[in-house]
Structure 1
Amino acid sequence: MSGCSVGIMHLPQGMAYALLASLRPVFGLYSSLYPVLIYFIFGTSRHISIGTFAVISIMVGSVTERLAPDSNFMVNVTNGTGTVNIDERDAYRVQIACSLTVLAGIFQILLGIVRFGFVVTYLSEPLVRGYTTGSACHVCVSQLKYLFGVTPARFTGPLSLIYTLVDICRLLPQTKVPELVVSLVALTVLIVVKEINACYRKKLPLPIPIELIVIIAATITTHFGGLRSEYNIDVVGEIPTFIIISCSRLKPPRAPDATLFSEVVGDAFAVAIVGYAINISLGKTFALKHGYKVDSNQELVALGLSNTVGGFFQCYSVTSSLSRSLVQESTGGKTQVAGVISSVIVLVTVLKIGSLFEDLPKVTFSAFCTISQ
């Protein structure tokens, strides 16, 4: 039951957080599959849920957008304007994300070997809470452009969050009303049902899977209501299964582009440290609550192997998720077998039913990201 509950959460969160990483939603599903299986073998925490996470996704997205901006993939340029070759851009961003992920995983493995886990002693609870709160603000602001259907300029450096918010406010007259309506409806439903889950959590055998319900409802409404053709609502589009050769065999892993290592080495180290800090903080919390110990150095190695192996299968950097871990623990999960069951659900989605979500509006992912913070 715990694995099924977490697997249902993996689907919307994986696809939503992939957008934060400036990747196609399907890569969030891949990142919810392979790393989970690796952590099942090497991890020491019984309750945390490995997979996509908002903070890491934003860090990956900042790198992919910096090294592969839209301006580098313009075609049919006339008078300074043109169209973006989306397929070529997205393919290169995947290469960047995979190289970043593998390098971050290598850093984590090396740090685990040299017993760097002692640093967890200096990660105080106020520090972790402050960082999480700051990241939540970044996630919410980053999703406003999707909620209103506008395209603000990209800002970097100090106060970039404020500049982005000001630019979004400037563009509010250009709001796409259909996308705003869809996002408001999704937000309202998510908030109401999550409050119901919180109020009746002791009476419900498992939380109402509202994320999955919203995905199904939004997909059906968009497909049969013609929202994509009549109102030009941006949808997920094709969910390819190019990592699958057949139902019985997986495509061999592909080595990342090593020439990109020099450009992402600093970002990879930052991702490695932040990912580990989040992972060990949650692991220690659940271990203290349930009376067992987690090995801080082994957690570094386990997370590093999850990222390294995942990078070879077109996954991007992962760490533990607070919301999924809480569900895994509250629904009775006591070992990482729950994680294996959740990964099976993701695998079935990629293999068999992924194509059914092609008409899912992307704006619903923004609602998921906002609510999860």
Structure 2
Amino acid sequence: MQPPISIDQAALNPPGWAKWVPGLQMLRDYQVNWLGNDIVAGIVLSTMLVPVGIAYAVASGVPAINGLYATIIPLIVYALFGPSRILVLGPDSSLAPIILGVVLPLSLGDPGRAIMISSAMAIVAGGVCIVAGLARLGFITELLSKPIRYGYMNGIALAVLISQLPKLFGFSIESTGPLRDLWAIGEAIVAGKANWPGTALGGGTLLVILVLKAHKRMGAILVAVIAATFIAGWFDLSEKFGVKVLGPVPQGLPGFSIPWLQPSDILPILMGGFAVAIVAFADTSVLSRTYAIKTGTRVDPNQEMVGLGAANLAAGFFQGFPISSSSSRTPVAESAGAKTQLTGLVGALVVALVIVVAPMLFKDLPNSALAAVVIAAAIGLFEFGDLVRIFRIQNWEFWLSIVCTAGVAVFGAITGIGIAIVLAVIEFLWDGWRPHWAVLGKPKDVDGYHDMTRYPDAQRIAGLLLFRWDAPLFFANAELFNQRIQDAIAASPTPVRRVVVAAAPITSIDVTSADSLADLDEMLKADQVDLWFAELKDPVKDKLKRFGLFGLLGEDRFAPTVESAVGRYLRDYNIQAGA
């Protein structure tokens, strides 16, 4: 773990517009003794950027060179607008199936169209992230629970892995969804369509990456890709055995380009770009927070959205495609000693130098080796260990995660995002829709009033029902609230004269539930039962005042504490304490 970087407090809270351009702040505070670390780390990082950029471009359905463009431009832009000092951005395996799902049916195999469509998706994703960041919506990824995030990422990992199997085996299929694709792959293998020399080369590449990946400084991907390229070229596997290789890569740097679209492209690109924005920011925010803790710094999630959005926007206008943070390249930069985003700039410059000076280095790179690079990344996306823990402690959340994984695997990445969001909303609403409630009593030798189911011998006061509702009151649970109070009254061992709602857990109330409370009050009055509240929070009282319910019930029915409500009841009915 790196020691925290020393930065003055003004750098953490820069004034005015400067807070949206953290790179300028970092430049102002840059220390000369960091320079050697950043240059070395950038060179080490570049050894991974080239093969990974090419691999993810091919996996996303766009030409290889555009993967390098989508590597160079975002690193430069994020160095200016990104708040994290160590995060590495670029093409990512989790985005590949989303991009491919839009590019493949719209481009129909035309590389030029594929570039325009993917670039437009990056522009949409960038715009969404920037607007969300400026609107301070950085908290939205917190709405996806850990089991749902695991489920979605496991589904993405499975989709990525399956999408690369045809390339690994050396044939192509018409994609109709991950699970259906798996069946088609099996049929193609049985029919003898596999290119086994290429498959063996890809399998060997995958094995080398997995064996060496723990040694971050060794550049496992670079070693494996160089070896595969050398073998394919030395033995002329393309000509002799039909092993598919990348071929010549265009020379030169990207130029500014506006992607021109057909009207029929707009809706799927908007949907795909929005989906990319959600996934990219979810990944980036988690990784950014992780490394902020490791380096002893603070990262603003809203600025993280702006930085990610600016990087995507720039990628879209310079012939790139949607990008995200990288959970595989960032650790490489960190382990190589990176101190600031200058590491990313050095890495980008090295990649740019390679495609200008030596583009023919990639011509013998086997497609099966590129598939192996993506498959290795997909394997790293799977999360099983923590799901086992979740199954042990709350198995319904485990099954929620599995359903989310199945949604992505069956319907694809974009539909899977929708399923994940719907499940997140349902999960959020469920505890409030059918919350825990309790009748309270006074246990012996325990302060306060507590759940009778936990303290069966707790004392109850004759004629008084202490009722606790552990959720906000809103339209979905208003009728249930009324019913539970009536059930508790019916189950009381003595006739109830007053109901006191221990309302500390009630953090909000809406119009529907307020009207329902008025109905409950009328119903209880008919049975000569008073309805009181204790410990109701002032913001909720303010809402009741606006709704007219506070005046209807009367201010004296709102006690500051449960104890004071009990004391008032004892005085009103001249009951001795302990009776």
Q: TM-score range by the shorter chain?
A: 0.7 to 0.9
Find the partner of 2:127 among 90, 106, 112: 106
Q: Distance in 2 between matches of 1:194 and 1:266?
A: 35
How far 1:188 sits from its partner (Å)? 2.4
Match for residue 168 of structure 1?
185
Which residue identity is paired with 1:163?
A: R
Find the partner of 1:133 among 127, 149, 154: 154
Which residue identity is paired with 1:187?
A: L
How far 1:132 sits from its partner (Å)? 2.3
For the pair 1:231 / 2:235, whether they are aligned, the reply is no
Match for residue 509 of structure 2?
none
Please list, as runs of the form range in 1=range in 2, the aligned pairs for 1:215-364 lying within 5 A after superposition.
Answer: 215-243=225-253, 251=255, 253-257=256-260, 259=262, 260-364=265-369
Deviation sequence 1:311-358 (CA, Å, 0-9, x none): 111000111010111122222212111111111121111111221211
Give unpaired runs (5+ residues) of structure 1.
71-88, 198-205, 245-250
Please list, as runs of the form range in 1=range in 2, the aligned pairs for 1:185-200 lying within 5 A after superposition.
Answer: 185-195=204-214, 197=215
Task: Tell me: CA distance 1:49–1:62, structure 2 relative to 1, closer, same or farther (3 Å).
Answer: same
Q: Distance in 2 between matches of 1:209 and 1:355?
A: 21
Describe the SS at the equivalent of 2:61. coil
Q: Distance in 2 between matches of 1:239 and 1:335?
A: 31
Between 310-319 and 179-188, the greater mean CA deviation after superposition: 179-188
Q: Distance in 2 between matches of 1:119 and 1:153?
A: 35
**Sequence identity of aligned pairs in percent?**
30
Q: Distance in 2 between matches of 1:219 and 1:269?
A: 37
Describe the SS at the equivalent of 2:325. strand
How far 1:258 sits from its partner (Å)? 5.0
Q: Distance in 2 between matches of 1:9 and 1:299?
A: 24
Q: Distance in 2 between matches of 1:361 and 1:258?
A: 32
Contact 2:59 2:100 in 1 (8 A): yes
How far 1:130 sits from its partner (Å)? 3.0
Match for residue 554 of structure 2?
none
Task: Tell me: CA distance 1:328–1:128, structure 2 relative to 1, closer, same or farther (3 Å).
Answer: farther
Describe the SS at the equivalent of 2:151. helix
How far 1:30 sits from its partner (Å)? 0.8
For the pair 1:181 / 2:200, whether they are aligned, the reply is yes
Deviation sequence 1:289-322 (CA, Å, 0-9, x none): 3221111111111111111111111000111010
Describe the SS at the equivalent of 2:113. helix
CA RMSD of aligned residues (A): 1.7
How far 1:216 sits from its partner (Å)? 2.2
Contact 2:102 2:268 in 1 (8 A): no
Q: Distance in 1 between matches of 2:257 and 2:135?
A: 28
Find the partner of 2:62 among 6, 14, 23: 23
Q: Distance in 1 between matches of 2:196 and 2:342?
A: 44
Describe the SS at the equivalent of 2:232. helix
For the pair 1:153 / 2:174, whether they are aligned, the reply is yes
Q: Distance in 1 between matches of 2:315 and 2:174?
A: 32
Q: Distance in 2 between matches of 1:284 and 1:327?
A: 17
Contact 2:253 2:355 in 1 (8 A): no
How far 1:90 sits from its partner (Å)? 0.7
Match for residue 207 of structure 1?
217
Contact 2:280 2:323 in 1 (8 A): yes
Q: Distance in 2 between matches of 1:187 and 1:114?
A: 43
Describe the SS at the equivalent of 1:315. coil
Q: Distance in 1 between matches of 2:42 and 2:281?
A: 23
Q: Distance in 2 between matches of 1:354 and 1:6?
A: 19
Find the partner of 2:142 among 98, 117, 121: 121
Contact 1:17 1:57 in 2 (8 A): yes
Contact 1:100 1:261 in 2 (8 A): no
TM-score (norm 2): 0.56
Q: Distance in 2 between matches of 1:123 and 1:35?
A: 26
How far 1:131 sits from its partner (Å)? 2.5
TM-score (norm 1): 0.85
How far 1:61 sits from its partner (Å)? 1.0
Greater RCO structure (CA 8 Å; 6+ sep): 1
Between 183-192 and 305-314, the greater mean CA deviation after superposition: 183-192
The count of aligned residue pairs is 335
Contact 1:120 1:296 in 2 (8 A): no
Q: Distance in 2 between matches of 1:342 and 1:243?
A: 15
Between 314-323 and 264-273, the greater mean CA deviation after superposition: 264-273
Between 233-242 and 33-42, the greater mean CA deviation after superposition: 233-242
Task: Tell me: CA distance 1:329–1:242, structure 2 relative to 1, closer, same or farther (3 Å).
Answer: closer
Task: Tell me: CA distance 1:263–1:143, structure 2 relative to 1, closer, same or farther (3 Å).
Answer: closer
Deviation sequence 1:198-251 (CA, Å, 0-9, x none): xxxxxxxx621232222222222222311111111111112102546xxxxxx4
Find the partner of 1:91 among 112, 116, 131: 112
For the pair 1:39 / 2:54, whether they are aligned, the reply is no
Task: Tell me: CA distance 1:125–1:292, structure 2 relative to 1, closer, same or farther (3 Å).
Answer: farther
Contact 1:150 1:172 in 2 (8 A): no
Q: Distance in 2 between matches of 1:113 and 1:209?
A: 38
Q: Distance in 1 between matches of 2:172 and 2:232?
A: 22
How far 1:98 sits from its partner (Å)? 0.9
Between 183-192 and 296-305, the greater mean CA deviation after superposition: 183-192
How far 1:14 sits from its partner (Å)? 0.6
